[in-house]
Amino acid sequence: MNTFVSEVKNIDVKLHVPRSHSHRKYQLVELSNGLRTFLINDRSSDLFSAAMIVGSGSANDPDESLGLAHLCEHMLFLGTRTYPIPNHLNQIVSSAGGFTNAYTTMEHTCYHFELSSFAKSTDETVFIIDQVLDIFSSFFKCPLFKEKYIKGEINAVEEEHRGNTEDMNRIIFHALRLLASPNHAFHRFGTGNKDTLSALGTKTLQRYLRAYFQRFYTTRKMVLVLKGPQSINHLKKLLVAHFSDLVITSLDHWRGSNSSFVSDHDIYFSPQLYGYSDTPLFLPTTKAIFLKVPKDTLLRLCYPSKHIFDTAGIGRLKSLICNLIGDESMNTVCDYLKRKKGWATDIMVFCQNTFMNDDVLVVDIGLTPLGLKNLPQVIDTLHYFVNYTVVRANIFDLEKVASDLLDLEETLFLQRNVEACFVDEICDYGEKIEKGDLALPDIVRGYGDLLEDGSRLKTVQQLRKAFIECFTEENVRIIVAHKDLTPLNHFKINMEDYEIATDSYYQYEFVKITESTPMTFINLDLDLGLELPTISSNLKELVENSRKKGNSNDPDDNDDVGFVRGMRAKENHPCLVWFDEAAEIWQIDPDGEDQESIYITVTFHLREIEKSPENIVGIELVAEIVGEELRYKLYHYELLGHTWGFFVNVTGEPSILVSVSGPKSSSVTLLQIILDQLRMRIGCKEKIAYQQFKRARVNTRKRIEETQSATGLRKVFSAAYLIIEKDLITPNQKLEALELYDTDSLTTLSEQLLRLKPFTQLLFEGDIDDEERTKIIDAVSLGKNQVASYNVLAKQSHASSYFLPDGRNLMFSLQGGTDDTANTVFYYLQLGPRNDLEVYAWGRLFEHYLSHTALNELRTKRRLAYMAFTGMKFFRQSFGIHITIPSGEFDCHRLADEIEGYLWRLEQNLNQLTEERFKSEILEPFIQALDQNANHINTPSGLFLTLQPVQGSGDKPETAEFMAHWSRVDQIINGTYRFGGTVCEEPVNKNFLQNLSLETFLQYVRTFISVKSPQRSCLIVANAAGTQLYEACKSQFATIIHRQLREGDVNITHTKVTSLLEACRDQEGFTDLPVLLKEYIKESKQNSKLVKLAFKRFATSIVRGATSKISARPIARFDTHPISNKTEFTNYKDIQNLCYVGKRICWHDKILSLESIAQG
Predicted pLDDT of residue 789: 45
Q: How confident is the model at residue 32 (pLDDT cuts 50, 70, 90)?
A: very high
Q: How confident is the model at residue 110 (pLDDT cuts 50, 70, 90)?
A: very high
Residues 862-870 have a mean pLDDT of 87
pLDDT tens digits for 533-550?
988 877 788 777 776 665
- Residue of 863 and 1007 predicted with greater confidence: 1007
Predicted pLDDT of residue 894: 93
Highest mean predicted confidence (pLDDT) among 253-257, 473-477, 1066-1070, 1103-1107: 473-477
CATH architecture of 8-244: 2-Layer Sandwich (3.30)
Predicted pLDDT of residue 173: 95
Predicted pLDDT of residue 291: 95
CATH placement of domain 288-419+435-535: 3.30.830.10
* 3-state DSSP assignment of residue 291: strand
Residue 212: how many CB atoms within 10 A of its CB? 23
**Mean pLDDT lowest among 95-99, 454-458, 486-490, 901-905:** 454-458
Predicted pLDDT of residue 988: 93
Residues 239-265 have a mean pLDDT of 58
For the chain, give me the number of helices (H) and strands (E)?
40, 29
pLDDT tens digits for 957-988?
988 889 999 999 999 998 889 998 888 888 99
Highest mean predicted confidence (pLDDT) among 160-164, 731-735, 754-758, 1032-1036: 731-735
The pairing of strands 575-579 and 583-588 is: antiparallel
For residue 528, is pLDDT > 90? no
In terms of Cα–Cα distance, which of 1026, 1027, 1083 is closest to 1050?
Answer: 1083
In terms of Cα–Cα distance, which of 825, 1001, 1019 is closest to 922?
Answer: 1001
Q: In a 10 Å sphere around its CB, with 0-12 CB exposed, 13-18 middle and 19+ buried, how is residue 277 labelled?
A: exposed
Highest mean predicted confidence (pLDDT) among 370-374, 437-441, 566-570: 370-374
**Mean pLDDT lowest among 521-535, 924-938, 1000-1014, 1040-1054:** 924-938
Q: How confident is the model at residue 476 (pLDDT cuts 50, 70, 90)?
A: very high
List all residues 6 or more positions away from 158 whose beta carbon is below 8 Å from its beta carbon: 193, 194, 866, 888
For residue 1108, is pLDDT > 70? no
Residues 428-450 have a mean pLDDT of 90
CA angle at 780 for the pair 775 and 782, rounded to the nearest 5°: 130
CB 545 within 8 A of CB 536: no
Helices of type H across 327-394: 333-335, 369-373, 375-384
* 3-state DSSP assignment of residue 1077: helix
pLDDT tens digits for 296-319?
899 999 999 887 765 555 678 888
Residues 468-476 have a mean pLDDT of 90
For residue 1114, is pLDDT > 60? no
Q: How confident is the model at residue 935 (pLDDT cuts 50, 70, 90)?
A: very low
Q: How far is CA 704 from CA 347, 617, 731, 737, 924, in A?
A: 21, 10, 6, 11, 45
* 3-state DSSP assignment of residue 932: coil
Residues 257-271 have a mean pLDDT of 43
CB 713 within 8 A of CB 869: yes
Q: Please state the domain extents for the chain.
A: 8-244, 288-419+435-535, 569-792, 803-941+985-1025+1115-1141, 1027-1110
Highest mean predicted confidence (pLDDT) among 277-286, 616-625, 1103-1112: 616-625
In terms of Cα–Cα distance, which of 811, 991, 663, 921 is closest to 123?
Answer: 921
For the whole model, what pTM was predicted?
Answer: 0.85
Q: How confident is the model at residue 514 (pLDDT cuts 50, 70, 90)?
A: confident
Highest mean predicted confidence (pLDDT) among 261-270, 644-653, 1084-1093: 644-653
Q: What distance in Å separates the CA atoms of residue 804 and residue 137, rounded to the nearest whole number? A: 47
Q: What distance in Å separates the CA atoms of residue 697 and residue 694, rounded to the nearest whole number? A: 5
Predicted pLDDT of residue 473: 86
In terms of Cα–Cα distance, which of 600, 650, 582 is closest to 620?
Answer: 650
Predicted pLDDT of residue 1064: 87
Predicted pLDDT of residue 263: 42
Q: What distance in Å separates the CA atoms of residue 1076 and residue 614, rounded to the nearest whole number? A: 57
- Please give the mean pLDDT across all residues of the chain: 85
Q: What distance in Å separates the CA atoms of residue 387 and residue 410, rounded to the nearest whole number? A: 28
Q: What distance in Å separates the CA atoms of residue 772 and residue 347, rounded to the nearest whole number? A: 35
Predicted pLDDT of residue 565: 36
CB 621 within 8 A of CB 813: no
For residue 1044, is pLDDT > 70? yes
For the chain, percent of residues with pLDDT exceeding 90: 53
* Sign of the CA dihedral running 419, 423, 427, 433: positive
CB 155 within 8 A of CB 866: yes
Predicted pLDDT of residue 206: 95
CB 223 within 8 A of CB 36: yes
CB 982 within 8 A of CB 874: no
904-911 own/partner pairs: CB under 8 Å, 24+ apart: 904/1010, 904/1011, 904/1121, 904/1122, 905/857, 905/1119, 905/1121, 906/849, 906/850, 906/853, 906/857, 907/1005, 907/1006, 907/1009, 907/1010, 910/1001, 910/1002, 910/1005, 911/1002
CATH architecture of 803-941+985-1025+1115-1141: 2-Layer Sandwich (3.30)
Q: How far is CA 780 from CA 61, 444, 650, 759, 962, in A?
A: 58, 38, 18, 11, 20
Residue type, 782: L
Whether 288-419+435-535 shares its CATH topology with 569-792 is answered: yes
CATH architecture of 569-792: 2-Layer Sandwich (3.30)
**Mean pLDDT lowest among 330-344, 419-433, 733-747, 1034-1048:** 1034-1048
